[in-house]
Amino acid sequence: MRWSYVFKHWASTILLTSILLPIFTGFARHKIFDELWLFPYILVGGTLFSLPTLFIYIITFHILNHYKVEIKWIKTILISITLIGIYLTSYLLNNGINLEFVLTYSAIAIVSGVLFQVERK
């Protein structure tokens, strides 16, 4: 399988969340675009804090690729790992769950994981 799926899924989740999280936070405060200055901080923080999950994701992808698992199961397993990583990261950073953070990241991770195709070599 091609490794492009891994990096497309990871990069799109980080990038889209960095844009959409401040906008959704702004909706709650009735100041939609006032929070966009947070974009670079969310992008850098999201990238750094997602590295442990990305490492597990890559190892899992390699193992699934080695054993020739069906694509539908590969996507399900990898998206699940992403969601668990999002949940654990939020929990460890906040000593609890930040609902806006988890829901935004999770929704984008699911959508981008489903939309991108896992291609066989």
Query: What local confidence, expressed as pLDDT, does residue 39 receive?
Result: 82
Q: What is the pLDDT of residues 52-62, one digit of tens each?
A: 999 999 999 99
- pTM for the full model? 0.88
User: Is residue 11 over pLDDT 70?
Assistant: yes
Tokens 């959409």 found at = 20
Q: Give the CA-trace dihedral at 50, 51, 56, 62, to 10 degrees.
A: 120
User: Residue 53: CB partners within 8 Å, gap ≥ 6?
Assistant: 81, 82, 84, 85, 86, 88, 89
- Contact of 114 with 79, CB cutoff 8 Å: yes
Instruction: Find the length of the chain.
Output: 121
- DSSP SS3 for 70: coil
> What are the φ/ψ torsions at residue 13 (nearest 5 degrees)?
-65, -45
Query: What local confidence, expressed as pLDDT, does residue 1 receive?
Result: 67
Pick 38 or 42 by higher pLDDT.
Answer: 42
- DSSP SS3 for 97: coil
Q: What is the mean pLDDT of the chain?
A: 89
Half-sphere exposure of 83 (CA within 13 A, CB side): 14
